Structures are given as structure tokens and as C-alpha cells.
A and B are shown apart, each in its own frame.
Chain A
Amino acid sequence: MGDPMKIRASMQGDVAEIRVLVNHAMETGQRKDSAGNLVPAHFIKHLTATVGDKLVVDAQIGTAISRNPVFAFKVKGAKAGDKVVINWQDNKGDSRTDEAVIA
């Protein structure tokens, strides 16, 4: 289990804005540590977002996404009080799911 995500979801007019901050090392597998050894790749491959049980974003992610990545999405047809669920899976089989409510 990774560290908890921070999810902020709020209505901007009739569009829900969802921002997610994920705590993840996102190692590319190309970086070397101070001893000169390659740090093995460790990165999120999949991230999904559902709003009120409806899948809205299904993302495939590569190593070029920054460490502790931030994603922002906009969803039409959502309303305050809807549940937002974010799930990620990384290349080592780790995963995490967090949820929030649209404010």
C-alpha cells in the first residue's frame, strides 16, 4: 500500500474539477543513486477515476510523469455530494484506492 492520495473535488459552475496528488516515487529506471547503481523502475502504470460509480478517466501512465504526480480532470454531469474514487496500480503490483466527495 502506498501513502494516501490527496483528492480535491469541487464544482466550478456545472463542471466538477478533480485534483489528485499521488504520493509515489515514480522512478524511471534510468536514474543512478549516489553509489552509481541504477535505481530500478518503480512507477504508476494505471490510474482510474470514477464519479458516482461511473468510470470517467482510465489513464495509462509511463515513467515520464513526475515524482508525486498531480493529475487534474474535469467532469460534466457530476454534482456536489457525488463520490469520487481514484485508484492506481504500479509496476510492482502495488495499488491504492482513495475516495472523496465533491464539494
Chain B
Amino acid sequence: MNPLRRLLLKGAGASGAVLAAIAAGALRPGQVLAASWNTGAFEAKKVGDAMSGLGIANPVDSADIVMKAPDIAENGAVVPIEVTSNVPNTQKLSIFIDNNPNPLCASFDLAGGAMPSVSVRVKMQQTSNVRAVAHAGGKFYVAAKEVKVTIGGCGG
């Protein structure tokens, strides 16, 4: 555990996501990718920490995000999730599973005509809320759905 990174992440959580992005970027000058893999957000153990790691603040519940997911997943290793955002100007979609060891599942930056609609298959360790967050013009909208899992897909 890198204490400097911890400190930066901690500070960033309090003072906003832009700082987190700058801090993460500054610590990895060798990375050429515009958006380097957000280690802090992906390794967070709590959904709140994962969200703030991605810069999500004060997400508003929204009926404009349509999430298709099974009510009961018999096999937690393969749970199909489809997220469509009808929030205007959605630039990014991210998916969280509250009760997974690392709640952040994936985030999709959308550009060049990509519609805010993605389908993925995820692993779920146990019954959990699945949350989809739409990032639109600096605001955040969220929808959640509980998926019951009968056989977990993360353990051994």
C-alpha cells in the first residue's frame, strides 16, 4: 500500500474528483492513455468509495436510466446486464455491484455517435443491488435493481 497514494485519494474524496484525476495522472507520468485505469476506483471495497473514485458526486435517482437485469440469477458467474440511459447528453455509463469484493464493474466513455446503451455480462458474488450511473454534463444519475444470486460467481 502506497501511503502517498492513499493520502491523495483521501484528500481527493473530500475535495472533489477533478483533483483525484489530476493526482492519479500526476503519479503515473509514463501513461500515454488519455484515461488510465482508475486503480483507486476499481480497488475500492465499498460502493461509495468506488463512486467517489470515479468522480461521482451526489447521484440523483433517475427513471431515465433503464436497466435490464434478471430478478434472479441462477449462475452468478454470468449475469447479463443491459443499461440504456435516456438522460440527454450522457457521456459515460458506469456499473456497480454493491456486494461484490470490488463494486466497480466497468465504466464506458462514449463518444462519436455511440448511444448510451451498453450490454455486458458480469460476475456477482452474492445477492446485491446493481447500480448504473449515467454521467451527463457534470451531473450524475443513478438507477438500481436488486439481483438475487443463488450460486456465487467470484469465489472458489
Contacts and interface: CB of A to CB of B under 8 A. Distances in A.
Given A66-B77, A66-B78, A73-B118, A30 B156 contact: yes
Interface residues of B, number: 38
Nearest to A39: B156
A16 to B, nearest CB: 9
B154 A60 contact: no
A33 B156 contact: yes
Interface residues of A, number: 36
B143 to A, nearest CB: 18
A15 B115 contact: yes
Chain A contact surface mostly: strand
Interface of B: 33-35, 37-38, 42, 77-79, 82, 97, 100-102, 104-115, 117-124, 153-156
Given A58-B35, A60-B38, A72-B120, 8 more contacts: A28-B123, A54-B113, A59-B106, A60-B42, A64-B123, A64-B124, A70-B120, A73-B114
